[in-house]
Chain A
């Protein structure tokens, strides 16, 4: 049992009674994951509001939580739904991008016809992720790049690589197919890879 699952199990009886202190603990546990997901779907400007709405829905629905998924998955699904509702209200929608060919964008043009590198990857100056991240410019650049990825790419990346979710749960939270999730994740990773490589080579974002 993971730490989160154990904590959830301990909190659940009180949460179902809408006990405020337990609820505050729950907010502390999952706020980071929710805001990450909300930002990825609606952008920074309204993510706070989406998360606030989502927590209100969670609070009201908790007595009826049936435990068919983990509490965290359930909460993130409510967040994703809240984000979609919000986008609909503003007449914006999230396109599940078509699985168009040439999805490895930033790497296009870097291979010969036989599939060998023509512009091979550069060795990064610092190979430890910790050292790489010490530069503020690099951090800002990563955030900027993340923010510019198409919404669902960001959302899948956040859930898989930052929150350690498996594909099954990601599909449950975002209501997309597993094959779409895999393609979106790969595109997000390749785009981020390309941006960091560019930053490493040029010192510019």
Chain B
């Protein structure tokens, strides 16, 4: 039986799909029985989603344009 502490330690392996079938079943069994750990894993998952949204929302148009101008000013080999 996994402890709550172990659930947090293995959370990356779990969300990245790196646990064996047996380990995954044990993990899910614990989640079914423990609402604290369900809350933990939901929040843990939300972190990457949030950061990805914030990351993708950024526009780099100005920098890209400037960089292209710089490259085109370079002497050709």
Which residues from chain A sit less than 8 Å from chain B, CB to CB? 18, 20, 23-24, 27-28, 31-32, 35-36, 48, 51-52, 55-56, 59-60, 104, 107, 111, 114-117, 120-124, 127, 129-130, 132-133, 139, 142-143, 146, 157, 161-162, 182, 185-186, 189-190, 192-193, 196-197
Cβ of B32: which chain A residues have Cβ within 8 Å of it? none
Contact between A24 and B68 (Cβ–Cβ < 8 Å)?
yes
- The number of residues on chain B lying at the interface, defined by a beta carbon within 8 Å of a beta carbon of chain A, is 39
A55 contacts across to B, CB distance below 8 A: 67, 71
Majority-rule SS of B interface residues: helix
- Give the Cβ gap from A196 to chain B, nearest Cβ, in Å: 6
CA distance A86 to B42 in the complex (A): 39
A-B contact count (CB 8 A): 112
Q: How far is the CA of A123 from the CA of B18 in the complex (A)?
A: 26
| Besides the known contacts A51-B67, A52-B67, A192-B51, 18 further A-B residue pairs in the complex with CB atoms under 8 A apart | A27-B67, A31-B60, A56-B71, A104-B8, A107-B8, A114-B3, A117-B36, A120-B39, A124-B43, A124-B46, A132-B50, A133-B50, A161-B52, A189-B44, A192-B47, A193-B47, A196-B43, A196-B46
